[in-house]
């Protein structure tokens, strides 16, 4: 993940030309600033405050950092010991300086506290997110931050990345992050947030959204697929209900999506088959059912497909076993009943695993009693016909869908997903 993170940061910062690569400031700048008032004129307050600092922004940052330092009572890596003196850019571990474009001043542009294990009785992010007014990123993976996220986050005019993963945040989703309109990276995994994830999150222009390993337990918002995120992980929560049909909206952007280990139910919407850029799709350990939609044969880039530990049934479609890039297809602990020659080939070479299903003639299957019990009361899908729809087939003529079933799909494969069009308005 570290790689994705720095890569995205690199892209953002280079593409946007947000900050010039320039941490050093010539001593003249300070000198010039100091003499602005003209010979002999008394120095005004703000100018006094900059004395010895590279800029007034750094003089302000100094106060903020020193106040924050008092709140860190546990610092096993002795990071805060470096927070002394006036040369923040050179000496202070965890603070990254850059020139902020609108002011053309050296400032604290980023915070990187990843893996610092900071703790304290009231260790909040507020001081820094309010006080460091030019922040572009705040990365604080693996600390013990707690409390709320200040709504002042909306005043950070260049704020791109927020990583609060593996901290001690709790309560409902931090709605304040919705004010950070430029955010491209939001990582809240490994906290103990509960309730739901608000629909508006999926309208932020994010590249990456990680909310896995919390206690979210509501239905996924219908707008889920409106997200332009490339990487979406919702795993290890308690989300209920179905996978929203809107997921097809993410066709041009979504690369990897993890629904793993929630309490999702219902059938897979055929719209998942529209995700032509996706390489990873994981719905393992849920309560999903129905057949594998035939649209899955359109997942031309799919590499890792995990359907394990659900209640899927019928055949494993040969066309899915023929996907060109598939290298791990896990279908264990379901109620599949058939595999054809192509799928058998994948079983033989270790790509497809169908352990604990109802496929007669294969080893390690469920008992006949188990299977009979399941099929005596087999759950059905509401949109049964759409399960046969193959959106990538030429002219879609080979399927027998009625127009009422296709209604929202006729639009789906071709049109610009909203994410893209909004995305054009923002720099990423
Ligand atoms: C931090 O400082 C303490 C006391 O000065 C020292 O015992 C400890 O080894 C230091 N830890 C690290 C990781 O440098
Ligand atoms: C920014 O400031 C530096 C010196 O502090 C100056 O050389 C440069 O021309 C300024 N750039 C802009 C765009 O004002
Ligand atoms: C947070 O504090 C608890 C209790 O002191 C500790 O067990 C845990 O490892 C800390 N977490 C991190 C990420 O430092
Ligand atoms: C914790 O810190 C926040 C932010 O500085 C402050 O508003 C709050 O009063 C503090 N709470 C306690 C219990 O000290
Ligand atoms: C986590 O935050 C709660 C308050 O929300 C606090 O009572 C608890 O001590 C914190 N745990 C750690 C390890 O800091
Ligand atoms: C799965 O769904 C069935 C109904 O289809 C329900 O009875 C069962 O409790 C659900 N299991 C879980 C773990 O949510
Ligand atoms: C394939 O994926 C499954 C589930 O995601 C995982 O448990 C398994 O280890 C993977 N197998 C290989 C060979 O990578």
pTM for the full predicted model: 0.83
* Token pair of 22 as six digits: 């320039």
**pLDDT above 90 coverage of the chain, percent:** 79
Ligand 6 atom index nearest CA of 263 = 14
Residues 81 and 224 in one domain: no
Ligand with smallest separation from the Cα of 71: 4
Residues 77 and 151 in one domain: yes
Q: Which residue, 176, 194, 212, sits at the end of a domain?
A: 194
Residues 174 and 235 in one domain: no
Give yes or no for residue 152 CB within 6 A of ligand 2.
no
For residue 24, give every residue at least 6 positions away whose Cβ sits within 8 Å of its Cβ, in sequence order, or none.
Answer: 89
In whole angstroms, what is the distance from residue 123 CA to residue 106 CA?
27
Residues 88 and 58 in one domain: yes
* Token pair of 238 as six digits: 């308690």
Does any domain span residue 32? no
Question: Is the distance from CB of 303 to CB of 275 less than 8 angstroms?
Answer: no
Does any domain span residue 7? no
Per-residue pLDDT reduced to its tens digit, 347-359: 999 999 999 999 9
* Token pair of 252 as six digits: 């041009």
Give yes or no for residue 287 CB within 6 A of ligand 6.
yes
DSSP state at residue 11: H
Residues 246 and 151 in one domain: no
Question: Is the distance from CB of 108 to CB of 142 less than 8 angstroms?
Answer: no
Nearest residue (by CA) to ligand 1, atom 13, is: 77
DSSP state at residue 426: S
Does any domain span residue 370? yes
Give yes or no for residue 179 CB within 6 A of ligand 6.
no
* Token pair of 172 as six digits: 């409902």
Ligand with smallest separation from the Cα of 374: 6
Residues 202 and 287 in one domain: yes
CATH number of the structural domain spanning residue 361: 3.80.10.10
Residues 313 and 299 in one domain: yes
Give yes or no for residue 330 CB within 6 A of ligand 7.
yes
At which residue do the structure tokens 């600390």 appear? 143
Q: Which residue, 194, 226, 249, sits at the end of a domain?
A: 194
Range of the domain at 296: 196-411
Spell out the alpha helix ranges (H) of 291-396: 318-321, 341-348, 368-376
In whole angstroms, what is the distance from residue 96 CA to residue 111 CA?
6
Residue of 124, 125, 176 to test ligand 4 pocket, by largest number of atoms within 8 Å of CB: 124
Does any domain span residue 234? yes
Q: What's the confidence (pLDDT) of residue 185?
A: 93
Sheet holding 215-216, edge to edge: 170-172, 192-195, 215-216
pLDDT higher at 406 or 273: 273
Phi-psi region of 17 (alpha: psi -120 to 50; beta: other; left: phi over 0): left
Residues 148 and 181 in one domain: yes
Residues 179 and 204 in one domain: no
SS3 content of the chain, % helix, strand, coil (to 5): 30, 20, 50
Does any domain span residue 299? yes
What string of DSSP letters covers 130-158? HH-TT-SEEE--SS--BS---GGGGG-TT
Phi, psi of 6 (to 5 degrees): -70, -30
Residues 20 and 82 in one domain: yes
Does any domain span residue 375? yes
Residues with CB under 6 A from ligand 5: 119, 144, 146, 168, 170
pLDDT higher at 99 or 26: 99
CB atoms within 10 A of CB 424: 9
Does any domain span residue 37? no
Residues 47 and 96 in one domain: yes
Q: Which residue, 177, 194, 211, sits at the end of a domain?
A: 194
Per-residue pLDDT reduced to its tens digit, 291-337: 999 999 999 999 999 999 999 999 999 999 999 999 999 999 999 99
Give yes or no for residue 29 CB within 6 A of ligand 2.
yes
Residues 331 and 383 in one domain: yes
Question: Is the distance from CB of 95 to CB of 116 less than 8 angstroms?
Answer: no
Q: How confident is the model at residue 394 (pLDDT cuts 50, 70, 90)?
A: low
Q: How many folded domains does the chain comprise?
A: 2
Ligand 7 atom index nearest CA of 350 = 13
pLDDT higher at 305 or 14: 305
Does any domain span residue 417? no
């Amino acid at each position: 993940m570290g790689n994705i993170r720095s890569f995205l940061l690199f892209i953002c910062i280079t593409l946007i030309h947000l900050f010039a690569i320039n941490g050093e400031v010539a001593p003249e700048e300070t000198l010039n600033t100091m003499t602005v008032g003209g010979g002999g004129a008394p120095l005004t307050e703000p100018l006094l405050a900059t004395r010895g600092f590279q800029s007034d922004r750094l003089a302000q940052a100094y106060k903020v950092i020193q106040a924050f330092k008092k709140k860190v009572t546990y610092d096993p890596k002795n990071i805060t010991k470096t927070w002394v003196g006036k040369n923040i850019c050179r000496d202070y571990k965890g603070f990254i300086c850059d020139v902020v474009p609108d002011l053309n001043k050296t400032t604290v542009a980023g915070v990187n506290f990843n893996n610092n294990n900071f703790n304290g009785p009231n260790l909040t992010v507020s001081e820094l997110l309010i006080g460091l007014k030019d922040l572009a990123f705040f990365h604080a993976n693996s600390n013990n931050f707690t409390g709320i996220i200040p709504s002042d986050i909306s005043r950070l005019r260049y704020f791109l990345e927020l990583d609060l993963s593996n901290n001690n945040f709790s309560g409902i989703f931090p709605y304040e992050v919705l004010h950070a309109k430029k955010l491209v990276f939001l990582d809240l995994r490994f906290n103990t947030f509960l309730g739901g994830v608000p629909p508006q999150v999926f309208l932020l222009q994010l590249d990456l959204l990680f909310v896995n390993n919390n206690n979210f337990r509501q239905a996924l918002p219908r707008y889920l697929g409106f997200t332009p995120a490339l990487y979406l992980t919702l795993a290890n929560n308690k989300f209920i209900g179905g996978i929203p049909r809107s997921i097809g909206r993410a066709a041009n952007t979504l690369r990897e999506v993890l629904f793993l280990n929630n309490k999702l139910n219902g059938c897979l919407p055929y719209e998942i088959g529209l995700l032509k850029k996706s390489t990873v799709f994981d719905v393992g350990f849920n309560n999903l059912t129905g057949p594998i939609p035939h649209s899955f044969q359109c997942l031309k880039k799919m590499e890792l497909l995990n359907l394990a530990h659900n209640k899927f049934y019928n055949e494993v479609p040969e066309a899915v076993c023929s996907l060109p890039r598939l290298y791990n297809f896990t279908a264990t602990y379901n109620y599949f009943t058939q595999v054809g020659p192509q799928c058998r080939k994948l079983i033989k070479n270790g790509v497809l695993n169908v352990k604990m299903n109802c496929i007669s003639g294969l080893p390690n299957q469920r008992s006949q009693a188990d299977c009979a019990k399941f099929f005596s009361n087999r759950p059905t899908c509401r949109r049964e016909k759409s399960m046969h729809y193959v959106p990538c087939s030429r002219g879609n003529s080979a399927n027998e869908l009625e127009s009422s079933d296709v209604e929202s799909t006729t639009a789906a494969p071709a049109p610009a997903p909203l994410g893209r069009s909004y995305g054009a308005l923002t720099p990423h």
